[in-house]
Structure 1
Amino acid sequence: MRRFSRRPFRIADSAQQIVGGFLLAGPFVVTEEVWVLAENMSTVQTLVTVMIVFGVGYAALYKAAGRDPDDEFDVGGIPARFLSLMLVAYGAVIVLALAFGAPGTFLAALSGLERLVVTAKAIAVGSVFSVVGAATADSVF
């Protein structure tokens, strides 16, 4: 029989993640240096950045906060709290980038496909900071 943690994952936890994720993502979405950096990143660097986001998110939720992922409700074998964290970390950056028109502003000289690729890289960079804010808000509050 599976036991669940004393404090199960709730919708309020996602709300806290959203606040933290947006809070730290905002400054990086509107910083030209992030977009220039993304434009010059290789595919390998982008994949390493994605792995960093997943690693930091997992460590913050389950190592630093002392939670046991086996104690939590899961979706397809992935703890719901971690899945929510990844959706928030990347989603906050995507929403802000599109709401502010950042790809069109910083990548105006690129073609459609090039702009899409660089935008994905910039999202990966911004998510490094967003995941820290989202995980911290989830763990602290």
Structure 2
Amino acid sequence: MKLRRPRRPPEYRLADSAQQIIGGFLLAGPFVVTEEVWTLAGNMHIAQALTIVAIVFTIGYAALYKADTTRDADDEQEVAGIPVRFISLMLVTFGSVTVLALLFGAPDTFLETESTGDLVLTTFKAVSVGAVFSVVGAATADSIFAK
């Protein structure tokens, strides 16, 4: 019987995050500057936004570990039991939408509110909508350029 050395998880590289960023920004842009998204967000209930966030997490996980049969979450580097690649994907997904929304001044452009709380809440809801598309771009770019 030959003893095998335990397989080490593949290193997560900065290039992996860069690929996610390109894909995430690419698909987030058009939704951040669309008035309809901000109107939709203004009319959404917080429960709807939280459900969308859960959907984004599900899409991201499925795209990384279920659609790509060469990758297994159990073989990845982890932080607190969560694959680093998945953590990066979620940070890129929500981060790219948030950064673009703020850089373009979308909340101030599309929202007519005096309340900071309403501004923040509606921005969160708009970011959740944009994240649905950003996660697809980020996960696709990550999978396409995977080694």
Alignment TM-score > 0.5, same fold: yes
Secondary structure class of the residue paired with 2:18: helix
**CA distance in structure 1 between the aligned counterparts of 2:7 and 2:136, rounded to whole angstroms:** 28
1:110, CA displacement in angstroms?
A: 4.4
Alignment partner for residue 94 of structure 1, among 73, 93, 98?
Answer: 98
* Structure 1 range deviating more: 106-115 or 128-137: 106-115
1:38-93 CA distance string (max 9 Å, x none): 01111211111001100000000000112110100001111000000000000000
Change (3 A) 1:29 1:53: same
Match of 1:104 in 2: 108
Alignment partner for residue 139 of structure 1, among 129, 140, 143?
Answer: 143
The answer to whether the aligner puts 1:60 opposite 2:63 as a matched pair is yes
**CA distance in structure 2 between the aligned counterparts of 1:9 and 1:60, rounded to whole angstroms:** 17
Secondary structure class of the residue paired with 1:65: coil
TM-score by length of 2: 0.91
Contact in 2 for aligned 1:17/1:85 (Cα 8 Å):
yes
**CA distance in structure 1 between the aligned counterparts of 2:140 and 2:13, rounded to whole angstroms:** 16
**CA distance in structure 2 between the aligned counterparts of 1:4 and 1:69, rounded to whole angstroms:** 13
Structure 2 alignment gaps of length 5 or more = none
Q: Which has the larger radius of gyration?
A: 2
The answer to whether the aligner puts 1:50 opposite 2:53 as a matched pair is yes
TM-score by length of 1: 0.94
Q: CA RMSD in A?
A: 1.3
Alignment partner for residue 81 of structure 2, among 74, 77, 84?
Answer: 77
**CA distance in structure 1 between the aligned counterparts of 2:123 and 2:130, rounded to whole angstroms:** 10
How many residues in Structure 1 have an aligned counterpart in Structure 2?
140
Match of 2:131 in 1: 127
Aligned-pair identity in percent equals 65
Match of 2:20 in 1: 17
